[in-house]
A and B are shown apart, each in its own frame.
Chain A
Amino acid sequence: SQTIHQWPATLVQPVGSPLSLECTVEGTSNPNLYWYRQAAGRGLQLLFYSVGIGQISSEVPQNLSASRPQDRQFILSSKKLLLSDSGFYLCAWRGTGYTEAFFGQGTRLTVV
Chain B
Amino acid sequence: AQSVTQLDSQVPVFEEAPVELRCNYSSSVSVYLFWYVQYPNQGLQLLLKYLSGSTLVKGINGFEAEFNKSQTSFHLRKPSVHISDTAEYFCAVTHLNQAGTALIFGKGTTLSVSS
Contact = CB atoms under 8 A, between A and B. Distances in A.
**Which of the listed residues A32, A36, A101 has the most CB atoms from chain B within 10 Å of its own CB?**
A101
A39 to B, nearest CB: 10
Interface residues of A, number: 27
Nearest to A32: B100
Main secondary structure of the interface of A (DSSP, over half): strand
Contacts of A103: 36, 43-45
A73 interface: no
B49 A100 contact: yes
Nearest to B34: A100
A43 B105 contact: yes
Contacts of B100: 32, 49-51, 57
B102 interface: yes
A74 interface: no
Given A43-B106, A90-B43, A99-B94, 19 more contacts: A6-B43, A36-B105, A42-B107, A43-B107, A46-B104, A49-B102, A50-B100, A51-B99, A51-B100, A57-B100, A88-B41, A92-B44, A94-B103, A100-B103, A101-B92, A101-B103, A103-B44, A105-B43, A106-B43
11 contacts: A42-B107, A44-B105, A49-B100, A57-B100, A99-B32, A100-B34, A101-B103, A103-B43, A104-B43, A105-B43, A106-B42
Interface of B: 6, 9, 32, 34, 36, 41-46, 49, 51, 90, 92, 94, 99-100, 102-108
